């Protein structure tokens, strides 16, 4: 039996041809909306009245599975979106000498700006001055303890650098050399000391040894001249003269010293002396002896140094305070400041370029990115989680509901075809 639309009532036509698409569209839209709502709500578990029986599908899917959701999101981010290799690559791209210089420039300028604040400067000076004696005592104790345990290398390194850069290249000016030579002549090379030294040199044993050596090692005319002069006799007479005429012999020695210019010759030798002209092994030995002397001095006088530090505590605090207060950033030459910034930036760039990979390999796992992201998501309340997801997927969820209605409408049309085909 075929349906005759011309003879059918309006209500029959509506329910047969128009109602199914509308009904199925509304049904599909509502079903999709309810499914979306069920993702987030209810926020808490519901129970049947007067029982402890949980209502199915409560709480919503996301609140109920929040921990697993947090783990899944964290794993996705750390395994695919933000891996260790990605962080390392991006960091290496940012670590350029230009960027490091910009950071150093901003940091140094901010520090110098703080020094222009008088109140902060005085407060900083007071704080640093109070802690400076303790730091100095701790430094002395740590250095000496390290020397006792043979683990301290700072003293040796500093001493070697001072020796190589200052002592080794140091030259004494001629005027200071003259002063040193004069002091030596007045304190050590006096006529009296020279006379006493000559008397010790001209001992009977030395005179006999000298005569035997001349007789054994000279020959020809020199040996005849030595016998004619009588070296042994001359030495004994000179010794006797030094003993019997001390004043006269000292006057002669002093006169000869002036005539020979002994002081000037000593001064010239002092002024011309250069450690770098010594053999390398002697220089190395001298450096080692200096390091040993400094280390031994610090160990032997540890208590004296600590007592000295305690005695000058007040003075050191005052000097540190005054030095900080007197510091004026404007007094720093612009060229020197710029060069210092470049040097610091170059140093950090070279260091990071060499060590950045290893540092990141150690630092990134220590950050615990997976645990941090997972914990952050777990701290979200159900309302916050719903708001976050809807803010990100607002348009998609809206079109998803419309898609449900659209599919329902097509099912309604399909129902009309069925109704017409199979009345």
pLDDT at position 231 is: 76
Q: In angstroms, rounded to a whole number, what is the distance separating the alpha carbons of residues 133 and 160?
A: 27
Q: How far apart are CA 417 and CA 16, in angstroms?
A: 10
Q: What is the pLDDT of residues 224-259, one digit of tens each?
A: 766 667 778 888 888 888 888 888 988 998 898 888
Q: Which residues pair with 47 in a beta bridge?
A: 54
pLDDT at 15 over 70: no
* Residue in 361, 392, 346, 269 with CA at minimum distance from that of residue 97: 346
- The rounded distance, in Å, linking the Cα atoms of 202 and 40 is 115
pLDDT at 241: 87
Name the band, by pLDDT with cuts 50, 70 and 90, for residue 1. Answer: very low
**Of 132, 133, 152, residue with least CA distance to 142:** 152
Cα–Cα dist 280/276, whole Å = 8
Residue 238 has a pLDDT of: 85
Predicted pLDDT at 222: 65
Query: Lowest-confidence range among 4-13, 108-117, 242-251, 343-352?
Result: 4-13
Rounded Cα gap, residues 22 and 32, in angstroms: 15
pLDDT at residue 268 greater than cutoff 60: yes
Task: Give me the mean pLDDT over the 255-283 stretch.
Answer: 87
The tokens for 243 are: 């003993």
Torsion of CA 98, 102, 104, 107, to 10 degrees: -170
CA gap 412, 418 in Å, rounded: 10
What pLDDT was estimated at residue 371?
78
Cα separation of 184 and 181, whole Å?
Answer: 5
- pLDDT, one tens digit per residue, over 198-223 is 888 888 888 888 878 877 777 667 66
Q: What is the mean predicted confidence (pLDDT) over 279-301?
A: 88
C-alpha to C-alpha distance for 87 and 105, rounded to whole angstroms: 25
Residues counted in the chain: 423
CA atoms of 45 and 57, how far apart (whole Å)? 9
133: pLDDT strictly greater than 70: no
Q: What is the mean pLDDT of residues 25-52?
A: 79
- Work out the average pLDDT over 65-90: 74
pLDDT value at 368 more than 80: no
Among 126-135, 272-281, 283-292, 372-381, the range of highest mean pLDDT: 283-292
**What is Dmax (Cα atoms) for the chain?**
174
How far is the C-alpha of 18 from the C-alpha of 13, rounded, in Å? 7
What is the predicted pLDDT for the residue at 226?
A: 67
Region 96-122 average pLDDT: 78
Average pLDDT over residues 312-334: 66
């Amino acid at each position: 039996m075929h349906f005759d639309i011309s003879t059918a009532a309006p209500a029959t036509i509506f329910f047969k041809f128009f109602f199914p698409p509308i009904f199925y569209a509304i049904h599909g839209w509502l079903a999709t909306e309810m499914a979306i709502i069920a993702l987030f709500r209810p926020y808490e578990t519901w129970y049947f009245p007067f029982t402890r029986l949980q209502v199915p599908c409560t709480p919503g899917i996301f609140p109920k599975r929040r921990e697993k959701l947090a783990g899944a999101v964290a794993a996705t981010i750390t395994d695919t979106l933000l891996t260790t290799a990605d962080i390392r690559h991006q960091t290496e791209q940012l670590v350029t000498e230009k960027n490091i210089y910009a950071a150093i420039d901003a940091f140094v300028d901010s520090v110098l700006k703080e020094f222009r604040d008088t109140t902060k400067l005085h407060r900083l000076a007071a704080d640093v001055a109070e802690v400076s004696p303790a730091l100095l005592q701790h430094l002395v104790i740590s250095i000496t303890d390290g020397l006792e345990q043979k683990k301290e290398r700072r003293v040796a390194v500093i001493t070697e650098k001072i020796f190589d850069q200052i002592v080794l290249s140091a030259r004494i000016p001629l005027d200071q050399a003259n002063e040193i030579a004069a002091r030596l002549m007045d304190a050590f090379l006096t006529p009296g000391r020279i006379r006493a030294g000559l008397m010790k040199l001209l001992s009977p044993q030395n005179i006999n040894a000298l005569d035997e050596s001349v007789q054994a090692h000279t020959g020809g005319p020199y040996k005849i001249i030595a016998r004619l002069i009588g070296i042994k006799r001359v030495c004994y007479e000179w010794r006797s003269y030094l003993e019997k005429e001390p004043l006269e012999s000292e006057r002669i020695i002093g006169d000869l010293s002036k005539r020979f210019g002994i002081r000037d010759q000593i001064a010239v030798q002092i002024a011309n002396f250069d450690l770098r002209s010594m053999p390398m092994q002697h220089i190395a030995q001298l450096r080692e002896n200096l390091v040993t002397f400094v280390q031994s001095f610090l160990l032997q006088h540890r208590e004296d140094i600590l007592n000295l530090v305690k005695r000058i505590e007040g003075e050191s605090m005052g000097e540190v305070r005054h030095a900080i207060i007197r510091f004026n950033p404007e007094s720093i030459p612009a060229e020197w400041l710029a060069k210092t910034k470049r040097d610091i930036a170059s140093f950090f760039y070279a260091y990071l370029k060499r060590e950045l990979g290893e540092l990141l390999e150690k630092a990134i796992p220590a950050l615990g990115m997976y645990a941090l992201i997972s914990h952050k998501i777990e701290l979200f309340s159900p309302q916050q989680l719903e708001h976050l997801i809807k803010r990100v997927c607002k348009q998609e969820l809206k079109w998803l509901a419309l898609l449900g209605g659209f599919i329902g409408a097509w099912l309604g049309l399909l129902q009309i075809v069925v109704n017409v085909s199979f009345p």
